[in-house]
């Protein structure tokens, strides 16, 4: 079976993006493109935590609801959430109502704020773990890597929750630390070019 499928324009794309109608735009415009914005990085780590045990489609179709419920994933604001906010979120049918995951987002927001207080951005923290592209496994053949294991350990040591190696690897794929578009996918080259012009504190030189 081919690793690619033809998109609406006839150009090949990763086969997974045909699995649901919401995936094509996400695949073409977000997945694998490098991100340096702390709030976007925090949002993705949070959503990957919510995805644990679920499908990405479940999360993606609720993403706007999550953004509204969590005030745009402004971690400075989330860090001040109280038990009243937890109950508000548990009553919100538009998101995944899981107390442990909700409380993890609040905890992780406080950890992100602590990073900033130490003078380090979340972007600088995570991009230190960008792997050498020459050492990567073939695209979409693994669910963890030495770097995702290392970043997971570093986050956990710093007090973050719901950041296991598989969750972190999915985050790295999505945020462009790993270009996991398959060979032949029209977006793979676009993501590579985006990375070539990308500068981020903590990235490889």
Active site residues: 26, 48, 56
E-only strand ranges, the chain: 4-6, 12-14
- Residue from 109, 113, 129 nearest 200 by CA: 129
Q: What is the DSSP letter of 73?
A: G
- Residue from 192, 204, 200 nearest 37 by CA: 200
- Looking at the chain, how many residues does it have? 205
Q: What angle do CA 75, 81, 84 make, to 5 degrees?
A: 150
Q: How far is Cα 28 from Cα 26, in angstroms, rounded to an integer?
A: 6
27 is in an annotated binding site: yes
CA distances from residue 100 to 4, 66, 85 in whole angstroms, order as listed = 37, 15, 13
Contacts of 81 (CB under 8 A, 6+ apart): 106, 109
181 is in an annotated binding site: yes
17 is in an annotated binding site: no
Q: How far is Cα 198 from Cα 200, in angstroms, rounded to an integer?
A: 7
**DSSP helix/strand/coil, 6:** strand
71 is in an annotated binding site: no
Radius of gyration of the chain (CA): 17
Residues belonging to the binding site for Zn(2+) are: 14, 27, 181, 185
Residues belonging to the binding site are: 14, 27, 181, 185
């Amino acid at each position: 079976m081919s690793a690619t499928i033809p998109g609406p324009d006839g150009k090949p794309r990763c086969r997974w993006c045909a699995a649901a109608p919401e995936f094509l735009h996400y695949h073409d415009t977000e997945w694998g493109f490098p991100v340096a914005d702390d709030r976007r990085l925090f949002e993705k780590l949070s959503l990957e935590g919510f995805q644990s045990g679920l499908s990405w489609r479940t999360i993606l179709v609720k993403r706007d609801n999550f953004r509204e419920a969590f005030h745009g994933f402004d971690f400075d604001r989330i860090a001040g959430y109280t038990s009243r906010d937890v109950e508000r979120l548990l009553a919100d049918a538009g998101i995944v109502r899981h107390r442990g995951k909700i409380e993890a987002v609040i905890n992780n927001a406080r950890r992100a704020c602590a990073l900033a207080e130490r003078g380090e951005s979340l972007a600088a923290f995570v991009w230190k773990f960008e792997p050498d592209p020459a050492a990567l496994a073939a695209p979409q053949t693994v669910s963890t890597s030495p770097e995702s294991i290392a970043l997971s350990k570093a986050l956990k040591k710093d007090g973050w929750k719901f950041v296991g190696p598989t969750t972190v690897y999915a985050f790295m794929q999505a945020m462009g630390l790993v270009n996991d578009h398959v060979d032949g996918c029209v977006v793979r080259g676009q993501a590579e070019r985006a990375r070539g012009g990308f500068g981020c504190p903590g990235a490889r030189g």
